[in-house]
Structure 1
Amino acid sequence: MGHGELGAQGVEGGRALAESLDRRVFDDVAWRRSDEELLQQALGYLVKKKSAADALHAHGITADVDTVAAWRAKVRTPGPEEQQRLQQVFKDLRRRNIAPYLTRVLNADGGTRIEIHPVDQESVEARHRRDLRVRWKNIWRWNAIIAAWARQDSLEMEHLWQGLMSEMESDHRSYYFVRHIGILG
């Protein structure tokens, strides 16, 4: 029987870990910002980075750095579709640029602990529910995880997650799908 066939709600662990890393990097103050402020943040970042032109072209944005500067100065306005692609370029470039720093921080002092919340079984019939609890695990080496996250390689993230879970002493397969992963520290 596959995941969710009995009503359990959750996502793949690798995806949940990638989402937690995204929250750590991008959502520090996003809850306080409007779409316009987020766009200005992205444009400000892209104007400052030498690799922005290549990143823009890789995402199909033909604008050069001068056009991006004009958007930043509000002389011109990118269309709604371009705004979404600019946000994606910003996030891709930021992931790539912050990866070495994030790896150092998470590897420091013997690694970083994560909190693993199991799938939500509220919709599962009582007779099929499993006794799953929140688990904690220390990840000693984040290098491969951060590299896969920076590349947005979901298959590799899932492979790495399953490897981490196989190190747990019991019931590790019950945590291949999770509700949430928190990064502590």
Structure 2
Amino acid sequence: MPEWNIAFGAYGAQGVKGHEFVARRLDSLAGFIASPVTTRRGLAARLRYLTSSPRQLAAAREAGLTISDRTIRAQQAGIRAPSARTLREIDAAYQRVRRQNVSRHLLARLNRQGRGTRVEFHPVNQSAVDRPRQRVVEYRTLNVRKWERIVGVWEAGDDAGLDAAWVDEVVVDLGSQWGQYEYVTNIGFAA
């Protein structure tokens, strides 16, 4: 039941939806190129990744890369500077293809042959909330064994689906207090 906390922050609590931290952590585990696409090095690395093989180029085309092969070659050679729209398109295609390529490996690492991965929930920051309105919320940990749906919607780039999957598959397993962990200050896990 996502969106349980419809008026979150009304009294000054600070936090972020848990699925956003999960997406950031999965992105960091995927190992994206660190240089931004706006730099020559970042653009060259993304184009090299997307065009390294015919299979990669086909996946990039499926992911929304519409620029021609001739334009790609000109940009790789530094003859033609890409527009802002083209840079966004290249970066989006790169992220989508990278997620597709690493999702199976990442899923195996997170599931750990059925043992799962320990996830840490850091509660919301209530320092700005008046004392009578503060809740007793504590740091919690949970061993998550079902990552298939979460990694699947992350791979697809579906933010609303990731929110629903995170709440339905993980947060509700915290018991009757699950609503207190829909918004958090951090979600931590390693794979």
Match of 1:39 among 34, 39, 43: 43
The Cα offsets for residues 69-103 of structure 1, whole Å up to 9 and x where unpaired, read as 33123232212231122111100111122111111
- Give the equivalent residue in structure 1 for 2:72: 68
> Runs of at least 4 residues of structure 1 off by over 4 A?
none
Report how far residue 66 of structure 1 moved. Answer: 3.8
SS of equivalent residue, structure 1 residue 184: coil
Aligned ranges 1:154-169 → 2 under 5 Å? 154-163=159-168, 164-169=170-175
Match of 1:132 among 137, 141, 144: 137
Match of 1:85 among 82, 89, 99: 89
- Contact 2:50 / 2:60 at 8 angstroms: preserved in 1? no
Report how far residue 133 of structure 1 moved. Answer: 2.3
Match of 1:141 among 141, 146, 153: 146
Corresponding position: 1:180 with 2:183 = no
- Contact 1:116 / 1:178 at 8 angstroms: preserved in 2? yes
- Contact 2:59 / 2:97 at 8 angstroms: preserved in 1? no
- Give the equivalent residue in structure 2 for 1:18: 23
SS of equivalent residue, structure 1 residue 130: coil
Counterpart CA distance in 1 for 2:132 and 2:187 is 26
Counterpart CA distance in 2 for 1:57 and 1:101 is 21
Q: Percent identity?
A: 29
Seen in structure 2, the aligned counterparts of structure 1 residues 57 and 103 have a Cα distance that, compared at 3 Å, is: closer
Where structure 1 has 5 or more consecutive residues not aligned to the other structure, the ranges are none
The normalised TM-score by structure 1 is 0.85
What's the C-alpha RMSD, in Å, of the aligned pairs? Answer: 2.3
Seen in structure 2, the aligned counterparts of structure 1 residues 141 and 68 have a Cα distance that, compared at 3 Å, is: same
Aligned residue pairs, count: 181
Report how far residue 5 of structure 1 moved. Answer: 1.1
The Cα offsets for residues 120-179 of structure 1, whole Å up to 9 and x where unpaired, read as 222222221222222222111211110010011222212222221111134211001112
Counterpart CA distance in 1 for 2:44 and 2:102 is 19
Where structure 2 has 5 or more consecutive residues not aligned to the other structure, the ranges are 1-5
